[in-house]
A and B are shown apart, each in its own frame.
Chain A
Amino acid sequence: MSDADVADRLEVEDLACAAGIRTLFQGIGFSLGPGQWIQLGGPNGCGKSTLLRALAGLVRPLAGSIRWRGEPVSQARERWHAAIAFQGHLPGCKDTLGAAENLRWQLLLDGEPAGPARLGELLAQVGLERQARLAYQRLSAGQRRRLGLARLVASRRPLWLLDEPTTALDAAGQALFGEILDRHLGDGGLAICATHLELPVRSPAIRLELGGRPRA
């Protein structure tokens, strides 16, 4: 089976995670194919972030299996990491560096081209062209979130794992996010977004709700 024949598909079965002694959730399973996205909902503390982190491989699940393109993720760590773009609560940017510099280091880490022209283009796409040389710590929360969007725009990775992607974004910013995600899904990408807000995304979401009270 050549690479082209194996579709980008995420299959999760019976996933369970704990935080300390409590079991946060169990029995989570789904199958996600190209062009599909999951809106992960649930009350605060139900484990949305933990689920994303468990999928990314930062946290070990208690039970369950995660398969990407048919392979268990635990056996092909590098291929899995190359396939995902993860944005958690923390921005992953350094305060003392400028906006464009931060983006440049992130793109280099992602293996994407990061020349000055490319950086300028990306920043313009997210409306930050005038903030390119501003120190990251001087950016507002919304501007920081837009910088994160710039990284997504540049990313060629098929699966996006996003934790509360529209926090602090104004209406224009949220619309921008919607466009970026739609474009990604249209190109055959996949996404899982944990959020309790309604996202302005045209493609219909598969909704997954994590249960109410954490079970012991």
Chain B
Amino acid sequence: MNAGAAIAWGLRRDLALAMRSRAEVAIVLAFFLLVTSMFPLGLEPDPALLSKIAPGIAWVAALLASLLGLPRLFAGDHADGSLEQLALADAPLPALVAGKVLAHWVATGLPLVLLAPLAGIQFGLEPAAIGILVATLALGTPVLAWLGAIGAALTLGTRGGAALLALLVLPLAVPVLVFGAGAVESSRAGLGAQAHLSLLGAGAILSMVFGPFVTALAVRISFE
């Protein structure tokens, strides 16, 4: 199988699997909105304050929600032997992995991007800011997906669990958080979000180019 067919295989199979487990996927999205709802309860529902902190909170909630969805990516395949078969297939493993991560993003990342306006409304964000928030999430969630994929592959079969995965992924995700949330603030301050969006875009491209190879390497390491 060539790379294109391999990506298609991974994408279609994992989307078919996600369709069968719609509930699992929906839980991740509910978690996102749950986390954003916690903050006004923990602080005060002062509109000015909420509007100010909204981008940061939306981004942190997106980070946490994406962490929550990660075990779905490789753990199931690892447990039932499918991952083994992928590693032994006559197809480039990076391409198979890319298909899987793409399906994962479509099932958990893309809905997050589409749900973000709801979080924006919860916090009284103005439409322009919501627009920028959605754009940063659209560019940033693929990076999170790839960082998460590398972390998930490295921790396959270990006892560390979700906490270890979070410990590995969150520090690496700091730049995405900074530029993502910063973009909204910057555009509000009238400085425009061009630079932030370009950096996020560059990050997305880099992660899509290198992510598959590093993740495939991490998957192979997990069999040893």
Contacts and interface: CB of A to CB of B under 8 A. Distances in A.
19 contacts: A56-B88, A57-B88, A59-B224, A78-B90, A81-B88, A82-B90, A86-B84, A86-B88, A91-B80, A91-B81, A92-B80, A92-B81, A92-B85, A94-B76, A95-B80, A101-B16, A109-B86, A110-B89, A111-B90
Contacts of B87: 58
A57 B90 CA distance: 13
Interface string B2-20: 0000000100010011001
Contacts of B210: none
Given A96-B17, A106-B85, A109-B89, A90 B1 contact: no
Most buried by B among A53, A60, A92: A92
Interface of A: 53, 56-60, 78, 81-82, 84, 86, 88-97, 101, 105-106, 108-111
Nearest to A151: B85
A58 B223 contact: yes
Interface of B: 1, 9, 13, 16-17, 20-21, 76, 79-82, 84-91, 223-224
Contacts of A56: 88
A78 B84 CA distance: 15
Contacts of A108: 9
A97 B224 contact: no
Contact of A84 (B79, B88, B224): B88
A96 B18 CA distance: 10
A111 B82 contact: no
A110 B81 CA distance: 15
B17 A92 contact: no
Nearest to A79: B90
Given A81-B90, A82-B90, A111 B80 contact: no
A53 B224 CA distance: 10
A166 B116 CA distance: 52
Closest 9 CB pairs of A and B: A90-B81, A82-B90, A92-B81, A96-B20, A92-B85, A58-B223, A81-B90, A92-B82, A109-B89
A97 B20 contact: yes
Contacts of B80: 90-95
Given A97-B20, A105-B13, A58 B90 contact: no
A94 B100 CA distance: 14
